Chain A
């Protein structure tokens, strides 16, 4: 496999250099470097958004999640993603139009203007930094897991992580958002093909889909229904994950930026529908991979299972392509996220464009290093880590949506409630306060409280002369 991997690796790096050179800008401005000219077509928009959402978390995290928790994993991600598509149409189009009319440079800057206070933009910025860094580390951890499984003796986990972050920072520093989006498209196509080839290989091991599920039923029937063998999939879990995932396009800046820079609403419409179909088609083979693991590798550690399903049990060419696809996925997704943090920072800076961009580029590297450190220190499961990130940024939704959708200037009620919610959630993650009160998860309490506060603010704005 090593020869196939080296060949595929050389081809991939050559394409990256080609893309970076092609998109290299003589003079970088906020518009062309951070926002790719604000003129994104349907196809590029679809692939870059899909690649930003589906990455190492999907390819490595989801098969393992299916293997351990069973079929309910489908509801957790695929159904929530389908909800996201509907909201993208109904709310995303309004937000896109509003943001473009207000000279969008980043969500934080937009909110500072919408509320009339710079600190509101800072809340959004700090919120996404705190909760995107763990998500970026998901990608880095995911791909280092995979590389360690492929080449156990070559490098320690932290060595692989450092190499990935270095490539990521150099690539985004050179090419800007358009280069990242081309890489997204490349990785989206490679990953889509590889994941289906592997998924179909997994089914062929048992003759058919029915044969596969029959084997699972005979070994552990709890995997075929909710709440799953470990009791994870409760209604509460689903509600929290659905809220956190369905509003991702508005709460995570790497996605909202892509929506806003779509060249037209009709392109956004087609992109959103394509994204829904893409989501179903990408998550489906991870179910097959998970069921394969539940039958053949039910008791082994995650790294070993991933090594088998993606590498050792596949033909060398597919394994090598998978390895490259996954590295590309991790790099492009993390790039997008780190870059989005840079864009958010830029939108809060009021110095000249040249100075602000120079500062932003330094911080893009700082965010990358922060994610690297977090990925080395964190021991949480990939999917749990991603869900924590989704839930954390979901707490920003009332602040963002009210700020962008309200025709009147909102007051400080929602910003203050958001700060409180973020602090409480972070304290619960650090175990300073309980994460559950009885059977109720603290995120449910925070979501409900923010919804009530938002309702009060909306009524106040409506009754205001």
Chain B
């Protein structure tokens, strides 16, 4: 139970960090579109990376989040 809560706290913390980074030059550098990846501008491919980071984080959280009688 304690381990589960700690993991969820960690995923929440990472969620907050990624979210903060989403609104900074890490994801949206003003006026910059390099480095490119397979020809795609920086914000486009990094945006895809961020999306999958969120989904992966959600997947990890879903493994540890238990709520309700149908959770075992």
Interface 1/0 per residue, B46-61 and A, CB below 8 Å: 0110111111011101
Q: Looking at the complex, which one of B48, B58, B67, B68 makes contact with A86 (CB distance below 8 Å)?
A: B58
| CA of A64 to CA of B70, assembled, Å | 44
| CA of A79 to CA of B18, assembled, Å | 11
Does B36 make an interface contact (CB < 8 A)?
yes
Interface 1/0 per residue, A57-90 and B, CB below 8 Å: 0000000000000011011001101110110111
Q: List B contacts of A97 (CB < 8 A).
A: 67-68
Q: List B contacts of A378 (CB < 8 A).
A: none
| CA of A83 to CA of B70, assembled, Å | 25
Interface size on A, residues (CB 8 A): 50
- Check if B71 sits within 8 Å of A266, measured CB to CB: yes
Q: List A contacts of B54 (CB < 8 A).
A: 79, 82-83, 85-86, 276
Chain A binding surface SS class = helix
- Given A86-B57, A94-B67, A276-B58, decide whether A75 and B40 contact each other with a Cβ distance below 8 A: no
Q: List A contacts of B35 (CB < 8 A).
A: none
Q: Looking at the complex, which one of B23, B32, B44, B67 makes contact with A238 (CB distance below 8 Å)?
A: B23
- Check if B47 sits within 8 Å of A93, measured CB to CB: no
Q: Which residue of A lies closest to B24 (CB)?
A: A235
Q: Which residue of B lies closest to A233 (CB)?
A: B28
Q: List B contacts of A213 (CB < 8 A).
A: 36, 39-41, 44
| CA of A93 to CA of B65, assembled, Å | 8
Stretch from A194-202, A219-227, A338-346, A445-453 at the B interface: A219-227
Does A428 make an interface contact (CB < 8 A)?
no
Q: Looking at the complex, which one of A74, A89, A208, A239 makes contact with B47 (CB distance below 8 Å)?
A: A74
Interface size on B, residues (CB 8 A): 41
Number of A-B contacts (CB under 8 A): 139
| CA of A209 to CA of B36, assembled, Å | 12
Does A454 make an interface contact (CB < 8 A)?
no
Does A329 make an interface contact (CB < 8 A)?
no
| CA of A78 to CA of B62, assembled, Å | 20
Q: List B contacts of A264 (CB < 8 A).
A: 68, 70
Q: Which residue of A lies closest to B60 (CB)?
A: A89
Q: List A contacts of B55 (CB < 8 A).
A: 82, 85, 273, 276-277, 280
- Check if A269 sits within 8 Å of B62, measured CB to CB: yes
- Given A214-B39, A233-B28, A273-B55, decide whether A82 and B68 contact each other with a Cβ distance below 8 A: no
| CA of A211 to CA of B40, assembled, Å | 9
Closest 4 CB pairs of A and B: A210-B39, A82-B54, A97-B68, A224-B33
Q: Which residues of B contact A (CB under 8 A)?
A: 8, 12, 15, 19, 22-24, 27-33, 36, 38-44, 47-48, 50-55, 57-59, 61-62, 65-68, 70-71
Task: Give me 18 other A-B pairs in contact (C-beta within 8 A), A85-B55, A85-B58, A217-B33 excluded.
Answer: A71-B47, A72-B43, A74-B43, A78-B51, A79-B22, A79-B47, A208-B39, A209-B39, A213-B39, A225-B43, A226-B31, A227-B30, A238-B28, A242-B19, A265-B68, A273-B59, A276-B55, A287-B44
Q: Which residues of A contact B (CB under 8 A)?
A: 71-72, 74-75, 78-79, 81-83, 85-86, 88-90, 93-94, 96-97, 100, 208-214, 217, 221-222, 224-227, 233, 235, 238-239, 242, 264-266, 269, 272-273, 276-277, 279-280, 284, 287
Provide 22 A-B residue pairs closer than 8 Å at the C-beta atoms, listed in order of the A residue. A71-B33, A71-B41, A71-B43, A74-B43, A74-B48, A75-B22, A75-B43, A79-B27, A81-B51, A82-B54, A90-B65, A210-B40, A213-B36, A213-B41, A213-B44, A225-B32, A265-B67, A265-B68, A265-B70, A280-B52, A284-B48, A287-B44
